[in-house]
Amino acid sequence: MKHYSVMLLETLDLLSIKPNGIYVDGTLGRGGHSCEILKRLDQGHLYCFDLDLQAIEESKQRLDEVGNNYTCIHANFADMKKCLAQLNVLQVDGILLDLGVSSPQFDESTRGFSYRSDAKLDMRMNQEGSLTAYDVVNQYSFQDLYRILTVYGQEKFAKHIARAIENYRKHKPIETTFELVDIVKSVLPAKVLSSKGHPCKQTFQAIRIEVNQELESLKKFLNEFDELLKECGRCAIITFHSLEDRLVKEKFQALSSVKHVDKRIPLLPNQVEEANFRLLNKKVIIATQEELEENKRSKPAKLRGIERLR
């Protein structure tokens, strides 16, 4: 399947690329966003992070056709501040995160991300990582399975699914995606099985988030990214489910707000506290109908941006 860069123009608009600026793509993927950023840089430089070595190698070929003023870093975006500091980069003009799993990862059946292809349970974005979906499904306790299915998957039938997994693996390990699909389906009501959308979506999402520690990575990034931004520096983040979006929304709101002061208290102009950041879009940006017609995977995407003022 062709790889689409979700909300490409909207993201570039939020970042407002400066030709001589320093920019970071924290989720390189197949290089769609990065290539467009690089096209807009003259004397500037682009740093690209990704956990997937295959993605980095494939993206380098695309980036080389645009320019050579870029650096790829095989690391988690959660470690962006530390990795950039090692390169003597202490502040940047813009940061982008596209938190969706790239289409090639879903479509390459051997990676085990998809419930539509039979493959060994894997789901690692970083193929050098030690924890796999196989480990989660076969080694996690009932309580831990129930927790991740409930929290990360927001699965209504988490208890039933966790119990079914626990019972099945007493007889043999759960080795493939289709085995897991059958187990999940075996305990879901007919109404759920016949409804629109795949009945295993939430389960696979929950396991993938756990394997890759996606929310923990996002939390760490959100605690540090503001220190990386120069004055007038911008950050744009695309999320794909409510757990991510809530974290981003709350952090952006906190950075762009000041402590409430009773308006009846007289204050001099220099005593009025002002926020160091401003929201670039108070209303979340979603994909246009035109984009959805080309790429239905853009449907859950939400884009938010923030700018450092001082």
Q: Tokens 């950050």 sit at which residue?
A: 235
User: Residues 186-199: pLDDT tens digits?
Assistant: 999 999 999 989 99
Cα–Cα distance measured from residue 187 to residue 156, given in angstroms and rounded to the nearest whole number: 12
Query: Across residues 173-198, what is the average pLDDT?
Result: 96
Number of domains in the chain: 2
3-state secondary structure labels for all residues of the chain: CCCCCCCHHHHHHHHCCCCCCEEEECCCCCCHHHHHHHHCCCCCEEEEEECCHHHHHHHHHHHHCCCCCEEEEECCHHHHHHHHHHCCCCCEEEEEEECCCCHHHHHCHHHCCCCCCCCECCCCCCCCCCCCHHHHHHHCCHHHHHHHHHHCCCCCCHHHHHHHHHHHCCCCCCCEHHHHHHHHHHCCCHHHHCCCCCCCHHHHHHHHHHHHCHHHHHHHHHHHHHHHEEEEEEEEEEECCHHHHHHHHHHHHHHCCCCCCCCCCCCCHHHCCCCCEEECCCCCECCCHHHHHHCHHHCCCEEEEEEECC
CATH code, domain carrying 150 = 1.10.150.170
Structural domain includes residue 285: yes
Residue 104 near residue 3 (C-beta atoms within 8 A): yes
> Do 224 and 203 share a domain, yes or no?
no
Structural domain includes residue 70: yes
> Do 19 and 94 share a domain, yes or no?
yes
More confident residue, 152 or 2: 152
pLDDT of residue 253: 97
pLDDT of residue 1: 45
Residue 108 near residue 58 (C-beta atoms within 8 A): no
User: Residues 77-135: pLDDT tens digits?
Assistant: 999 999 999 999 999 999 999 998 876 777 687 899 999 999 999 999 999 999 999 99
Cα–Cα distance measured from residue 22 to residue 45, given in angstroms and rounded to the nearest whole number: 5
> Do 116 and 247 share a domain, yes or no?
no
pLDDT of residue 269: 65
Structural domain includes residue 204: yes
> Do 129 and 44 share a domain, yes or no?
no
Q: Which of 184, 212, 240 corresponds to the end of one domain?
A: 212
Q: Which of 192, 212, 232 corresponds to the end of one domain?
A: 212
Asked if pLDDT for residue 173 goes beyond 80, the answer is yes
> Do 219 and 181 share a domain, yes or no?
no
CA distances from 184 to 88, 179, 258 (A): 49, 9, 47
> Do 205 and 230 share a domain, yes or no?
no
Asked if pLDDT for residue 271 goes beyond 70, the answer is no
pLDDT of residue 41: 98
Asked if pLDDT for residue 295 goes beyond 60, the answer is yes
Instruction: List, in order, residues 6 or more apart from 140 with CB less than 8 Å away.
Output: 148
> Do 196 and 185 share a domain, yes or no?
yes
> Do 218 and 94 share a domain, yes or no?
yes
Q: Which of 173, 194, 212 corresponds to the end of one domain?
A: 212
One-letter identity of residue 306? I
Asked if pLDDT for residue 287 goes beyond 80, the answer is yes
Structural domain includes residue 168: yes
Which of 4-36 are b and which e, b meaning 16 or more Cβ less than 10 Å from the residue's Cβ? bbbbeebbbbbbbbbeebbbbbbbbbbbbbbbb
Two tokens, residue 31: 């290089």
One-letter identity of residue 153? G
Structural domain includes residue 3: no
Please report which confidence band the pLDDT of residue 260 belongs to, taking 50, 70 and 90 as the band edges: low
pLDDT of residue 228: 98
> Do 276 and 248 share a domain, yes or no?
yes
Cα–Cα distance measured from residue 91 to residue 77, given in angstroms and rounded to the nearest whole number: 15
For the ranges 22-36, 135-149, 271-285, the lowest mean pLDDT is seen at: 271-285
CATH code, domain carrying 302 = 3.40.50.150
Q: Tokens 């090639």 sit at which residue?
A: 104
Residue-range definition of the domain harbouring residue 63 = 8-98+214-308
Which of 211-228 are b and which e, b meaning 16 or more Cβ less than 10 Å from the residue's Cβ? bbbbbebbebbbeebbeb
pTM of the model: 0.93
